[in-house]
Amino acid sequence: MLDDKKVPVPGSFAEGAHVTAEEYEERYARSIADPEAFWAEEGKRLDWIEPYTRVKNCNFDLGSVSINWFEDGILNVAANCVDRHLETRGEQTAIIWEPDEPGDAARHITYNELHEQVCRFANVLKSQGVAKGDRVIIYLPMIPEAAYAMLACARIGAVHSVVFAGFSPDALANRINDCGAKAVITADSAPRGGKRTGLKSNTDAALLHCSDKVRCLVVKHTGDQTTWIDGRDVDVLSMMEDVAPDCDPEPMGAEDPLFILYTSGSTGKPKGVVHSSGGYLVYCAMTHELVFDYHAGDVYWCTADVGWVTGHSYILYGPLANGATTLMFEGVPTYPDAGRFWAICEKHDVAQFYTAPTAIRALMGHGREPVERYDLSSLKVLGTVGEPINPEAWNWYNEVVGKGERPIVDTWWQTETGGHLLTPLPGATPLKPGSATRPFFGIEPIVLDPQSGAEIEETECEGVLCIKASWPGQMRTVWGDHERFEKTYFSDYKGYYFSGDGCRRDADGYYWITGRVDDVINVSGHRMGTAEVESALVAHRDVAEAAVVGYPHDIKGQGIYAYVTLMNGVEPTDDLRAELEKWVRTEIGPIAKPDLLQWAPGLPKTRSGKIMRRILRKIAEDDAGSLGDTSTLADPDVVDDLVENRMNRK
Ligand code: WT7
């Protein structure tokens, strides 16, 4: 049984760690007993222009949900991430940038340089009319300018919304329009794994669907030719040379929004998750320091993309608030070969390495040799995020990468939570492979019975995972739709934050995430709403109906399985299949492309017309033997056809 395998904290590790086992118990108890006092103290991690006098003012009651932390405090996030370090570590590297091509030179950007670049970028934004409270879309590759752009927005009080460079023009346009962005910041093109994506041309296509007032700020990164629209397009880098090298940080309220990040939900339209300035930064600084046991001088590397929340909290904001050296990698784990991650760890003496189970599984397939080629002795802590890590991947990570001596922090959290909620602390928590272990300070997880909604008091149990009370990093609202915020997270289980995940709690009080309980699937650690893929499919003229479910996928964790019913008279051909796949890529982006697409003459429905997803999931899992009761179906015969022509035969 997995639960029996407890991996102790390595002896040498506990000594120098920020938090030991005893300290964890004591501080955790204190954080729950008196959150006001606890967070009043932790808030001092930041520099405040005006200190807060009120700490926590939160309400989880449906109809009046409101979340406020440090609400009368005034601060500037960029000043906390940059300016306040200049005196003590101006010449220390803030960002190490490793380009896609291993032969190209890495860049080391000191805090002094970062300060100047951020100020210049901020002045470019101002020159384009961007002011406090305005929204700015950032659609950039993993380059230092992405960090400058985010911090420049924070410096002048503009709200950024980073759109992952893998999203399509349509997805980009929807986000620009939803938040009413004044400007979009992009690059000519994005190199990744030796290939290039034309970001500027994608942006041009997106802007056809947006107000013609939206400015387009272009970072000429690769030098690739692009179209240029005078009066709309701005050459950022050349302009940065002309503007002043300093820019006063705007004083911001703790509750002023810092950023919006769009994420998929169980309905078709992605929602704009809004994060705050003060509470968010306190929470990601604290978790970054304690969960990775970050010490001054360590080189820290999170392999995520800044287009996801992991990149926001744990490439940029958390590490820089702590004055860390954070590594940013433009490329992919397997280019030019499967040793790239480890080559980078060796080259830059990485101490903390944070990645996703899907990357570990992909690399596992290449064997030990690409790892063993490199000296990984600088590594101290390994981390994972995005989905439950399976024992094989955990063991490989532990033995082959960590040589059995590095704690692995399996961090459970979400775009909505801003930072880690369930996680080991490396010097304090004995590990269990596959478990995100125990709550971080201030977090009160509870397990509810999915039917009755009642709290399950027994330690050992299984149910839906909710959080009892607010924490500073929690999202504040859905952009432009507070009602949707309340409905999504506070209406199914009254009085609690509902995570959308199921979990199991074992006899030691350790949490095991069992996956989403809603119609969201987790593809390579990225959240995908099945409804979103379905609405893309039915937008095609030949498609009458579509249903999308997840199925187990060796590398991605879950793959996308689409059942498609065509319009009367349309022939199901391989060409059409390819066309539909391409269609979804253009509507949403490559990450949403179905892995398997089955032609469905009909979909199994109840007599009231509701699609029976449970049955579609079973067929997609090649588990037709346990379809359960199909007698309530309007037309039970369609199931036979679907089973017979299933795509995922083991
Ligand atoms: C969903 C959130 C938070 C950054 C990455 C994804 C799943 C995340 C874990 C983990 C098991 C995990 C959950 C969660 N998830 N981390 N360590 N163990 N599951 O952010 O796109 O907001 O997705 O990812 O299902 O709800 P996201």
* pLDDT 10s digits, 286-345: 999 999 999 999 999 999 999 999 999 999 999 999 999 999 999 999 999 999 999 999
| Ligand 1 neighbour 413 (Cβ under 6 A) | yes
Please report the atom of ligand 1 found closest to the CA of residue 415: 22
Predicted confidence at residue 612, as pLDDT, reads 86
| Ligand 1 neighbour 386 (Cβ under 6 A) | yes
Please report the atom of ligand 1 found closest to the CA of residue 525: 6
Distance from residue 411's CA to the centre of ligand 1 (Å): 8
| Ligand 1 neighbour 473 (Cβ under 6 A) | no
Please report the atom of ligand 1 found closest to the CA of residue 500: 26
CB neighbours of residue 107 within 10 Å: 15
Distance from residue 347's CA to the centre of ligand 1 (Å): 30
Pull the structure tokens for residue 12: 């040498």
Predicted confidence at residue 533, as pLDDT, reads 94
Look up the ipTM and state it.
Answer: 0.99
Residues of the chain with pLDDT below 70 are 1-4
Predicted confidence at residue 3, as pLDDT, reads 52
Please report the atom of ligand 1 found closest to the CA of residue 499: 26
Angle formed by the axes of helices 169-179 and 199-207, nearest 10°: 50
Predicted confidence at residue 225, as pLDDT, reads 95
Contacts 24+ apart (CB under 8 A), 396-401: 396/360, 396/364, 397/360, 398/7, 398/433, 400/368, 400/371, 400/372, 401/342, 401/353, 401/371, 401/376
For 313, left (φ over 0), alpha (ψ -120 to 50), or beta? Answer: alpha
| Ligand 1 neighbour 262 (Cβ under 6 A) | no
| Ligand 1 neighbour 312 (Cβ under 6 A) | no
Pull the structure tokens for residue 506: 């074992």
Predicted confidence at residue 4, as pLDDT, reads 60
Pull the structure tokens for residue 514: 């069992």
Q: CA 75 from chain center: how many Å?
A: 25
| Ligand 1 neighbour 424 (Cβ under 6 A) | no
pLDDT in tens, 219-231: 999 999 999 999 9
Predicted confidence at residue 650, as pLDDT, reads 79
> What residue's CA is closest to ligand 1, atom 13?
387
Distance from residue 525's CA to the centre of ligand 1 (Å): 7
Predicted confidence at residue 577, as pLDDT, reads 96
Amino acid identity of residue 224, one-letter, is D
Identify how many contiguous H helices and E strands the chain contains and give both numbers.
22, 30
Predicted confidence at residue 1, as pLDDT, reads 44
Question: Is 269 in a helix, a strand, or coil?
Answer: coil
Residue bearing tokens 């679907």:
642
| Ligand 1 neighbour 313 (Cβ under 6 A) | no
Predicted confidence at residue 14, as pLDDT, reads 87
Instruction: Provide the annotated binding site for Mg(2+).
Output: 538, 540, 543
Pull the structure tokens for residue 75: 């601060």
Instruction: Provide the annotated binding site for CoA.
Output: 192-195, 310, 524, 585
Locate the DSSP E strands across 472-609. 477-478, 497-505, 511-516, 520-523, 526-529, 543-553, 557-566, 596-599
